Structure 1
Amino acid sequence: MNKFSGKIAAIDAYGSVAVVDVMVGSHCFTATLMGAADQLEVWRSGQAVNLLFKETEVALAKNLSGQISLRNRMPSIITSIEYGQLLTRVVMRMDGLDLSSVITTRSARSLTLAVGDQVEGLVKSNEMSLFAGDVL
């Protein structure tokens, strides 16, 4: 599980849906929250939160160009690769933050990933979870 600590920068809510921007250092991440309107009222701008997302929800791109709808883009450098028979775990570093991605070994080999490569981690906003908590 990837976990970043940050602060809520902005909340855009309508009914039972909220789009929440969280600043983690100089990076802005977006989480889409669904629930009853009173459940969404607990989130406030400036609130310390933990942003969690599964390793299996991090897609990787190499030499990505053009526009894309994914708001959570994490430009990173690969620090290690663990090839398995079916799945490969890629560990990356982004401005002092460590994150991991688990992709198919077929995809890892197709991308010809290597330690030191510049890649971009991509996560849909609905795959980001927020939990109240102090910034670590």
Structure 2
Amino acid sequence: MNRFEGHISEIETDGGLSLVTVKTAKDLEFRSIVIDTPDSAPYLKKNQKVEVLFKETEVAIGPENIKDISLSNKIPCSVEAVDKSTLLSSLDLKCSEGRIRSIISTRSVRELGLVPGKSVSALIKLNEVMLAPL
């Protein structure tokens, strides 16, 4: 599980959903959709410290400066390590806040030419990002 600490910087609410933006200490931003509102979940307030969590299997990899894509979480990274198996590969990515681990197909690793040192974007859908109050 990937984990980062941050604080809630913005909350947009509509009906029973909230779109929450979390900033880390090094200004990395994560967005998450939460099936709660500030009225139903007391931790949903500006400046509240939270932990951002997402699974390794939810991290897609794209080109370095990808812009035109609907994913809200686009994190600039560099590949630190690639551990290939027959079907799946594990990648260790370095970003400004620390490390992100991604598990993708080995075929994708080959097709994208993913090797240590390559600059990429880690891509996570906002509905795959979980928040936990600290």
Q: Which amino acid aligns with 2:9?
A: A
Q: Between 55-64 and 33-42, report the one with greater CA deviation.
A: 33-42
Name the CA distance, whole Å, in 2 between partners of 1:16 and 1:88. 38
Q: Which residue of structure 1 aligns with residue 23 of structure 2?
A: 23
| Deviation (angstroms), 1:39 | 3.0
| Deviation (angstroms), 1:14 | 1.6
Kept after mapping to 1: 8 A contact 2:64/2:76: no
Q: Deviations over 1:14-55 (max 9, x none)?
A: 221000000012111100011477433431100000000000
Q: Secondary structure at the match of 2:69?
A: coil
Q: Which residue of structure 1 aligns with residue 11 of structure 2?
A: 11
Q: Which residue of structure 2 aligns with residue 98 of structure 1?
A: 99
| Deviation (angstroms), 1:71 | 1.1
Q: Which residue of structure 2 aligns with residue 123 of structure 1?
A: 124
**Which aligned runs of 4 or more in structure 1 are off by greater than 6 angstroms?**
none
Matches within 5 A, 1:103-118: 103-118=104-119
Q: Which amino acid aligns with 1:6?
A: G
Q: Deviations over 1:51-78 (max 9, x none)?
A: 0000000000125544111110010011
Kept after mapping to 1: 8 A contact 2:66/2:121: no
Name the CA distance, whole Å, in 2 between partners of 1:31 and 1:66. 19
Name the CA distance, whole Å, in 1 between partners of 2:51 and 2:112. 31
Q: Which residue of structure 2 aligns with residue 71 of structure 1?
A: 72
Q: Between 57-66 and 24-33, report the one with greater CA deviation.
A: 57-66
Unaligned residue ranges in structure 1 (runs of 5+): none
Q: Which residue of structure 2 aligns with residue 55 of structure 1?
A: 56
Kept after mapping to 1: 8 A contact 2:13/2:37: no
Q: TM-score, normalised to structure 2's length?
A: 0.92
* Residues paired across the two proteins, number: 133
Kept after mapping to 2: 8 A contact 1:78/1:90: yes
- How much identity, in percent, do the aligned residues show? 32
